[in-house]
Amino acid sequence: MKRSHWTRGIVALTLSIALVVLVAGTSTAAGDPGAVTKTFSLIAKPNSKTTTLVNIDSLLINARCDSRGTPVIFAFSGTSNADLFGRIFDGFGHLHIIKNTAFTSKGKGVSLSTSSGDFDATGNVLFEATNGNVVTVDYAFDNSTTLGKLDDCTVYGSVIAT
């Protein structure tokens, strides 16, 4: 008896589809229906007081403007074990990496701004705690030449948290 190649092809295709369905069915990654999305904005004069921009799921981000109108942004952890990763692109086109795999409530804050001399910048940080909470922050900041040269600095962006 001679078997057809076509029959073996159908069997192989059926097994492949079954395997894909089985693997896809066991995935644990899913969108969180309780996710929170918020925006924030700080527009302040030089020498402003520190303002809390983000305080969610053990991640705290605050900002102020220094005496020259330069944004000063810091992140703090409210948990004993977390990761914080991010990147900032400044107006000169430089990339600044943020990496802290020991982000704890006992550590100093992590700077989310730059000292490159150009404060027209955008940033993105991702925070994860051991309880599975994840926070993503997209933000931008500019010094006192922003907003039509109003002599204000600004920090603004959005947060997604689970």
The 10s digit of each residue's pLDDT in 81-132 is: 999 999 999 988 899 999 999 999 998 899 999 876 666 899 999 999 999 9
Residue 87 falls inside a structural domain: yes
Mean pLDDT of 66-82: 93
Please give the helix or strand (H or E) that residue 8 lies within, else none. Answer: helix 5-25
Residue 155 pLDDT grade (very low, low, confident, very high; cuts 50, 70, 90): very high
Q: List, in sequence order, every residue forming a beta bridge with 69; answer none if it has no partner.
A: none
Does a structural domain hold residue 130?
Answer: yes
Instruction: Judge whether 31 lies within some domain.
Output: no
The pLDDT-based confidence of 2 (bands split at 50, 70, 90) is low
Instruction: Please tell me the distance from the alpha carbon of residue 109 to that of residue 115, in angstroms, as a whole number.
Output: 16
Q: Quote the number of domains for the chain.
A: 1
- pLDDT, tens only, 14-32: 434 433 333 333 334 455 6
Is the residue at 12 inside a domain?
Answer: no
Q: Which helix (H) or strand (E) holds 65?
A: strand 59-65
Place of tokens 């907003």: 147
Any domain includes 145? yes
Instruction: Using the CB atoms, write b or e for 84-109: b if 16+ within 10 Å.
Output: bebebbbeeeeebebebeebeeeeee
Identify whether 89 is part of a domain: yes
Range(s) of the domain holding residue 103? 36-161
Instruction: Extract the tokens encoding 15.
Output: 């097994």
First to last CA, the chain: 60
> pLDDT band for position 60 (50/70/90)?
very high
- Tell me, yes or no, whether 119 lies in a domain: yes
- Two tokens, residue 11: 């069997």
**Side by side, which strands form the sheet with 59-65?**
51-56, 59-65, 71-77, 110-111
Q: Is residue 111 part of a domain?
A: yes
- Strand, coil or helix: what is 60? strand
- Determine the Cα–Cα distance for residues 46 and 38; give it in Å rounded to an integer: 26
Q: What is the pLDDT of residue 117?
A: 65
User: Considering the chain, what is the average pLDDT of its residues?
Assistant: 82
pLDDT (0 to 100) of residue 15: 37
Pair 60, 90: CB distance under 8 Å? no
Kindly report the pTM of this predicted structure.
Answer: 0.77
Percent of the chain scoring above 70 in pLDDT: 78
